[in-house]
Chains A and B, each alone.
Chain A
Amino acid sequence: MPLQLNLLHEEFTEERQRKRDPLKLGMMALGAVGALMLVFYGFRAYQTLAIKNRLGAIEEEWAKVEPKVTAAQKRAAELNDIINTTKVLDSMIESRFFWAPLLQKLSGCVAPNTQLTNFDGTINVNKTVTLTIEGKATGAEPRAAAEEFRQLLSEELGKKYRNVRAEFKILEDLDTAVDVGGTSLPVARYIITVGLAPQPDSETNNSTRSDQALAKK
């Protein structure tokens, strides 16, 4: 084997050391990592730009839709208000107590030998009705005539209303007498109190008529 002499040993060593310079290697690594980071940043920036474009398109679409949506929401709130108010008003209209049918029933119960002098009707807080009916009855038995009127009233009102109670508050004979066909007959004075509650669906006919009246207007 031939003997080789390295006469440039020092120069080779310096060359090797120059190549292995940590600063140079570090800078190269730094540059490589920096380049990778830059590429990644560019990729992310491109993605972000795409998102920005999509966002711009959606914002543009929203700008077109928003006034319509706001108007729709406002209109929906308005319609809900109208529906709710109409419901409450309708329930008020339907829950009214109608006096005309009561007056009709009352007039049907008054026999020729009785007379009404006072009528007072009030709707209570619990929607029941209290009537105070004052009148006079005459005949051979004026008290019996008054009782007959009370019974007929109770019976007739019971056909249309619930929980009808008709009671005498006062029933007294009067000193005065009336002349009927040349015969003098005694007179009794009475006050009847009546309590009743309207049937839930007893006023349907009247409600329908109210609706028709409203439709005409």
Chain B
Amino acid sequence: MTAIGKLSKDQIQKVLLSAIGFVFLLYVYFTFFLGPLSRSRATMEKTMVDLQNKLGSSKTEMRRTASLEREAGTATARYAALQALTPDGAPIAWFPPRIKTFFANEGIDKAAAQLGNSDNPKEPELSGWSKYTWLISLPDADYAALGKAVADLENSEPLLAIDRLTIRTQPEQPQFQQVEMAAINTIQKR
């Protein structure tokens, strides 16, 4: 006869009661004590690993930025110089007078600039810049003075590119030429 067979009905009930109590204890322990504690611990460990990774990468990031800052010194200075070519205000307000003064300084008194059109550059890097097409006309220009003026203009205005150049002699005054230029100027949006 087995051991259980020797137990009385009262004893079997007590064994079952103890077993139920044991299961209940395990349930309460894992559900209300150890489970939440383990979950909380796992969450904290995950947060800690994330933060440690962020801290590690942040140090690398800061070192990289410092190195980039050193490397970008030339580019930053050049960018600032290019930015300085664009005065404040609408380009239509400052560009024609600037051109008139420029050619006057070159010995060409009559000069006029008209805005042809303006457009956004195709390059995504130039999202903060616009392209303005200007029609510059010089009704009385001497060829030699014109050549020098064009050279100086091209050298002093790096963001200006002459797209079309037309020179016509004047029948009455062959020593003077009538000049028209289409120039594209890249200007920072202000």
Contact = CB atoms under 8 A, between A and B. Distances in A.
Given A48-B41, A76-B65, A85 B163 contact: no
A81 B159 CA distance: 18
Interface string B76-95: 10110110110000000000
Give the secondary structure class of B's interface: helix
Contacts of B159: 89, 92-93
B144 to A, nearest CB: 8
Interface in B22-65: 22, 25, 29, 33-34, 37-38, 40-41, 44-45, 47-48, 51-52, 54-55, 58, 61-62, 64-65
B44 A79 contact: no
B115 interface: no
Interface in B139-157: 143-144, 146-148, 150-151, 154-156
A76 B52 CA distance: 22
B165 A99 contact: yes
B37 A44 contact: yes
Contact of B85 (A72, A209, A217): A217
Give the secondary structure class of A's interface: helix
B94 to A, nearest CB: 15
Contacts of B85: 214, 217
A89 B55 contact: no
Given A79-B72, A89-B82, A123 B164 contact: yes
Contacts of B147: 100, 103-104, 107
Contacts of B123: 88
A88 B126 contact: yes
Nearest to A101: B151
Interface in A186-211: 206, 209-211
Given A55-B44, A118-B167, A72 B37 contact: no
Given A30-B18, A34-B25, A83-B72, A117 B82 contact: no
B125 A84 contact: yes
Interface of B: 7, 11, 14-15, 17-19, 21-22, 25, 29, 33-34, 37-38, 40-41, 44-45, 47-48, 51-52, 54-55, 58, 61-62, 64-65, 68-69, 72, 75-76, 78-79, 81-82, 84-85, 123, 125-126, 128-129, 143-144, 146-148, 150-151, 154-156, 158-159, 161-169, 174, 186
Contacts of B169: 115-118
10 contacts: A22-B18, A34-B29, A47-B41, A84-B125, A86-B79, A89-B126, A99-B165, A117-B169, A212-B155, A215-B81
Given A22-B18, A82-B75, A75 B65 contact: yes
B168 A118 contact: yes
B157 to A, nearest CB: 8
The 6 closest A-B pairs by CB, nearest first: A26-B18, A100-B151, A23-B14, A69-B58, A119-B167, A72-B65
